[in-house]
Amino acid sequence: MLDVAREQSPSTDWLIQVLKRSESAGYGAVGLYLEHRFAYPSAPWAAGPGALSPEAVREAIRSAPGVRLIPFLNTLGHMEGFIRSEGGKWLAEGASTGSQQACPSNPRVVEFARGLITDAMDAFSDEWVHLGGDETWQLGQCAECSQRAEKIGKAGIYGEFYGPLCEWVLDRGRRPCLWADMLIEHPDAIRYIPKQTILFDWHYDKSPVESASQFREMGFDVVCCPAVHTFDSAWCFLDQTQENVDEHAAAAIETDSLGVLVTTWEYSYFTNYESTLPVIYACGRRLSSGTDWSDAIRAEGGEEYWRAAEILGNQIPSLSPFLQKRTWRKFRNALIFGQNPFYLWLDWGEEACGSVGDDVIRLCMQVEDLLPEEHPLRFPARLYRSGVEWIRVVRDAHDQYRAGDLAAARYTLEQGCSWLEGLRPDLERIAAGGGSSADVGRLRMLVEKVRNVSAKIGEVEATHQGVAHLPSFERLVHDAYVIGDQAAWRTGQFR
Ligand SMILES: [Zn+2]
């Protein structure tokens, strides 16, 4: 399953190539996770620039007839791309700081969902239509849903939305599919769901055998769903991915499930498909033929790719708890998601300035030696290396600042910002190839933050003439710091 929902704009040619490569790797089907990134004829206001068109889907299906292409929609949770558009605010269940859910009590939401499903069924010819249904964390929030929840519970609200919607899909000759996480969270919901519905049981950190067995005993067909661990890492946690795929393959056999869906998520925030596709194809080889993992990756990416993947996916993550598997992408969270690159220095400064940082740079240089300049796997190596080098720039600027040489600190930051700026050509190339359309803008924001801090240091220089006091550098670089506010209350109140 490819996640095109995170700012992706796949070209038809790219899609056809991925379908053909997936087929030759042994996959029987490819899922396209769409959310708002499909140009639904029923919701023209929702299609942003580069959204996948129904025509592109039809052409891909015609050009790669050997592999099924299955639409993965969302129809209740994860509607943020619709709700945060001018045309779709009315769908919202209510305010949320994370993903956004539509209101299951609103009959117009049901009509809207049916429109999306109809559009998908028009473009995709496969029997299966995935309706999403995961992570509906806002069940029972709005006034009407809250009243209903008192009578039928969150399970009832979920079941009364998806039961009839699945029946409606069945009436149209297709098989509905749902993610199973909310049926595990609200077990009473399952009695509303027609038995012909296929349940996609995803567990990215453990085997699905327990829940998959229960769904099978209830009479449901199940697909076991591991993940390629890119979304939670700086590039990919390689051995965690392999373990996760293998335990789902074993569980699928043990529970007589229909098969395994390898999910791949969120190729944005400075990650990209091109650097990971050989790993994704290798999962297909492993699942279809039991190929040894290293042989599978070599077959898909080549010897040098495999060696570089071992460095980036296993050796670098094992250098430090900050980088290791089963954590939540701490490196990218601090550098990119926080929208202030100084957070990486705050969170990881000590290690990155010491032997761990030296080791990261040494391993990144090994990757650079293995792969040609334009190889997609050079980018994660540049990302790691740039992060460490950027932290060392901030350390130097901090040293100059506390020694009172504020002009030197400004100069160091302005020059050292080139470690961040240096990522721009890769991000532009990734965007031009159909990857994240927002990451170049994210980089611009990081660079602006460096300029803002440099300007604040200039203000301190101007206002603190003949004064011994300096604001601490940790507070000065915080987004909430205002010159003159020595106690800096707001810097402690967020992040
Ligand atoms: Zn509601």
Interval 335-391: pLDDT, tens: 999 999 999 999 999 999 999 999 999 999 999 999 999 999 999 999 999 999 999
Distance between Cα 173 and ligand 1 center (Å): 29
Q: Which residues neighbour ligand 1 (ion) by CB within 5 Å?
A: 93, 103, 105, 142, 145
pLDDT digits (tens, 9 = 90+) for 386-445: 999 999 999 999 999 999 999 999 999 999 999 999 999 999 999 999 999 999 999 999
Distance between Cα 112 and ligand 1 center (Å): 15
Distance between Cα 108 and ligand 1 center (Å): 11
Tell me what pLDDT residue 249 has. 98
* Averaged confidence pLDDT in the chain: 97
Distance between Cα 42 and ligand 1 center (Å): 22
Distance between Cα 117 and ligand 1 center (Å): 21
Q: DSSP for 184-209?
A: HHSGGGGGGS-TTSEEEEE-SSS--H
pLDDT digits (tens, 9 = 90+) for 304-343: 999 999 999 999 999 999 999 999 999 999 999 999 999 9
Q: Do the Cβ atoms of 219 and 191 come closer than 8 Å? A: no
Instruction: Specify the CATH number for 2-313; select among 3.40.50.1970, 2.40.37.10, 3.20.20.80, 3.40.50.2300.
Output: 3.20.20.80
Distance between Cα 157 and ligand 1 center (Å): 9
Distance between Cα 104 and ligand 1 center (Å): 6
| Residue ranges per structural domain of the chain | 2-313, 319-492
Q: DSSP for 246-307?
A: HHHHHHHHHTT-SEE--B-----SS--STTTHHHHHHHHHHHHH---HHHHHHHHH-HHHHH
Sign, CA dihedral 116-122-124-129, equals positive
Distance between Cα 148 and ligand 1 center (Å): 9
Would you say residue 493 has pLDDT above 90? no
Distance between Cα 87 and ligand 1 center (Å): 18
Would you say residue 243 has pLDDT above 80? yes
The DSSP call for residue 72 is E
The DSSP call for residue 78 is S
Distance between Cα 103 and ligand 1 center (Å): 4
The angle that helices 12-25 and 54-63 make with each other, rounded to 10 degrees, is: 40
Lowest mean pLDDT across 65-69, 89-93, 217-221, 482-486: 482-486
Distance between Cα 187 and ligand 1 center (Å): 20
Distance between Cα 139 and ligand 1 center (Å): 7
Distance between Cα 136 and ligand 1 center (Å): 11
Q: Given pLDDT bands bounded at 50, 70 and 90, which one contains residue 33?
A: very high
Q: Which residue has the tokens 């299966």?
A: 128
Q: Given pLDDT bands bounded at 50, 70 and 90, which one contains residue 291?
A: very high
Tell me what pLDDT residue 106 has. 98
The angle that helices 277-289 and 293-301 make with each other, rounded to 10 degrees, is: 130
- Find all residues with CB under 8 Å of 350, minimum gap 6, and list them: none
Q: Given pLDDT bands bounded at 50, 70 and 90, which one contains residue 170?
A: very high
Tell me what pLDDT residue 366 has. 98
Tell me what pLDDT residue 495 has. 77
Q: What average pLDDT score do residues 15-25 get?
A: 98
pLDDT digits (tens, 9 = 90+) for 209-223: 999 999 999 999 999
Q: Do the Cβ atoms of 80 and 100 come closer than 8 Å? A: yes
Distance between Cα 141 and ligand 1 center (Å): 6
Distance between Cα 162 and ligand 1 center (Å): 14
Distance between Cα 94 and ligand 1 center (Å): 8
Distance between Cα 114 and ligand 1 center (Å): 18
- Find all residues with CB under 8 Å of 172, minimum gap 6, and list them: 121
Tell me what pLDDT residue 494 has. 76
The DSSP call for residue 41 is T
- Phi-psi category of 207—alpha, beta or left, where left has phi over 0 and alpha has psi -120 to 50? beta
